[in-house]
Each structure stands twice: as structure tokens, then as C-alpha cells.
Amino acid sequence: LKRTAIYGVNYEQAKSFKNGEWDFHDADTQQHLHALHPYPARFIPQIPQKAIQSYSSPGDVVLDPFCGCGTTLLESVLAKRTAVGVDNNPVAVLVAQAKISKYSSKDLASIDKFVSNYEQTIKTIEPNKLVLPLYENIEYWFAPKALKELGIIKTVIEDLPPKIRTLALAVFSSIIVRVSNQDSDTRYARIQKCYEAGNAFKWFKSKMLDALSRLRSIYNLPRVEGKVYCQDGKNLAMIKDHTVNLIVTSPPYINAYDYHKYHRHRIHWIGGNPYSARDSEIGKHDTFTRPNATPEKYFADMGMCFNEWVRVLKRNGHILIVIGDGIVNKKPVKVAEEFILMMEKLKLKLVNRWIRHLKKNKKSFNQSARIDEEHVILFKK
């Protein structure tokens, strides 16, 4: 910890900065495509926006190796930086891809036509031709009418041209939890919901119209290309050495979420594999709530990711990480302090650190740990 003070500021100094530089408490976090799909622990867009403006230039490459639903990627392409995103969860990759695709006015007209004809189109689908995912207990999680309606919507989506299909599938994914008997986006438990016939049809149409109006508000802004990979972030072999100017990311918080579980039905419905997402997920609640669990595995996994980040980052490139501390087996885990030591071992320089104060009503991630602040740490290669 002593060494961190040589280059940057220590925790006490960071905490004493009451300027709230990274808080953005009153910011609009639901702008345009950012609100396309719910996503646990989504970045508020102002964080990557500020990092991108401060530590990169137009034409640079910005990587988010835990890109989630693509907040950093969308901000990057709109700021004319090439975006590269990686996530091991197929839902994240689908939504991020839908957000960063370039849509032409012709694409918008096709989406408009699809939505206008949708009620007619669904009537033409024969019940024996439905595209349904086959997995155990599906009937336990969905009412029979809900299953049939989702199957019809999925069948219709399958026939769309690729870019529009991706957008429609992301919108479809956004309604799955609401249509199912799963309690909420961050609680994988069955509750009895009263499914009313026609709800899935209605909710999908209204979300498509919402997506279309969000798209209309930004489609003609200049933007560059981006690429999203469905990949375990411990191995970034598809990215060449020294090609990235800036990494902006929020890694999975230790013992806070089970992304593979909350998104399990969505993953099945979009044709992904929930088991590989589960097996490679870093920091998952499942692992760190086991009796005698210790945080070592989390840091070992993150260490593998850091090695890859250092390899792909250019000289003088920056890494900005937003992370919260956690609790494992009732013991506090000082994640940010450990990350700083790990990065310094990799010869990265800690250039600054800040504390983000979460809104009082938004004690996020790990409710049991009552996290009300996050660390923003900035390194330079």
C-alpha cells in the first residue's frame, strides 16, 4: 500500500476529495439506446463518456473487456473511437451488438415496416412451426400461453435480415423475465404471476416502438465501427499486442451477482449456452457463498485478465477501472487495494484514484455488504 502513494493518491486522500467528480447523481442515465435492455450493474453512461474524452482521442481504440450491455462501446463509437467489447454472457454480447450497429435510414424504414405489419405477421405463424428452446423445466418458468406467444415472436424474428434480427432479438430478450415466472432481473426465484394472454405480443410491440424512437434520435450521428466478442475475458487472443489506447471497464464485483443465472432464460431463448457462461463467470455469488470460500480464485482470475490487458494496451495507454469492495465469508475484501498492487506488479503506474459515492437509495451490487461507494482507479502503461 505504501507504494501506491508514490505514484498516486491513497484511499484516505481519494476519500477526502468531496468533489464527487465521478458521482453524476443527477445525470440522465436512460438516454437513447443505453436503455434498450435492463442489465444488472450497467455503467451510467457519463462514466465511460468522461473517461473516453479525458484519456483517448478520435480514431483511438477503446476496449471494455467486461462490456456488459455495451455502455462503454456505445459511448466510444459515438465519440468516434473504435470500440472493442468482450463479455462471456451471450445476452450482454447480443445487446451490445444491437447498440453499436450502424443503422441507415433504410434499416429504420424496414424496422418501421416490420412493427407496422407485426400483428398481421404473427397471425400467419402455424403452431407446429414455432421456434421454442428445449430445456428442462421450461414449463415451470412460463405459463403455457406465454410459451406459445414467445415462440411465435421468436419465429417471426428468425426471418428478419441479420442487423434487424439482432435488434429485434435484443428487444425480445428484454421482455423475457417479465413474461416468465422469474421474480426479477436480479432474483432467480419462481413466483406465481398471473399471465394474461396477449401480454408478450403487446410488450414486444411496445418495446420495439420504443427502440425505434430511441434509434431515430441517434442513428444519423457520425459514429465509427465496433466489434463485440462472446469470450472469456481471461483470454483475449483475438486482440493483437499493443493495439488498444484505452481500457474502460467495470469488472464483475466479487460475490455480488450471478449473471448467468439472472439471464438464464434469456440465454436459452436467444440460442446461447448458459452453462459455458456459468462456468467462466468471474466473481459469481454461487462460488463465493460456498462454505469456506476465500477470495483467492477471484484475484487469480482477475490476474489472468490483467495480463491480457497489459499485453493488448499500447505504451502510454490508460486503464480506468470502476470497482467495489466485497465480503466473502463475513470478511471484508479490499478489492481496489489488491487491484492496485496487482497492476503495479505488472509495471503499470497508478496515476489517480477517486471515490464514487452512490446515491443513498442506490446501495448497489452487494446489499449485504451495504456498499455505498465505489473506487475509480486510473493506471498508465
Ligand X SMILES: C[S@@+](CC[C@H](N)C(=O)[O-])C[C@H]1O[C@@H](n2cnc3c(N)ncnc32)[C@H](O)[C@@H]1O
Instruction: State the residues that interact with ligand X by CB under 6 A.
Output: 39, 41-43, 66, 68-69, 71, 86-89, 92, 232-234, 250, 252, 259, 280-282
| Closest residue to bound ligand X by CB | 68
Q: Taking the complex as a whole, how short is the minimal distance between the CB of residue 310 and ligand X, in angstroms?
A: 17
Q: Which residue type sits at 244?
A: V
Q: Taking the complex as a whole, how short is the minimal distance between the CB of residue 125 and ligand X, in angstroms?
A: 32
Q: Taking the complex as a whole, how short is the minimal distance between the CB of residue 279 and ligand X, in angstroms?
A: 9
Closer by beta carbon to ligand X, 141 or else 259: 259
Closer by beta carbon to ligand X, 92 or else 343: 92
Q: With residue 248 as reference, give the H or E element that holds it.
A: strand 244-249
Closer by beta carbon to ligand X, 259 or else 306: 259
Q: Taking the complex as a whole, how short is the minimal distance between the CB of residue 89 and ligand X, in angstroms?
A: 4
Q: Taking the complex as a whole, how short is the minimal distance between the CB of residue 149 and ligand X, in angstroms?
A: 28
Give 126: exposed, middle or buried? Use CB within 10 Å, 0-12, 13-18, 19+.
exposed
Residue given cell 481496489 in the structure block? 336
Which grid cell is 327? 465480503
Closer by beta carbon to ligand X, 220 or else 289: 289
Residues 89 and 42: their CA atoms lie apart, in Å, by: 14
Give 123: exposed, middle or buried? Use CB within 10 Å, 0-12, 13-18, 19+.
exposed
CA distances to 47, 211, 231, 337 from 76, in Å: 12, 20, 20, 28
Closer by beta carbon to ligand X, 76 or else 245: 76
Residues 272 and 90: their CA atoms lie apart, in Å, by: 6
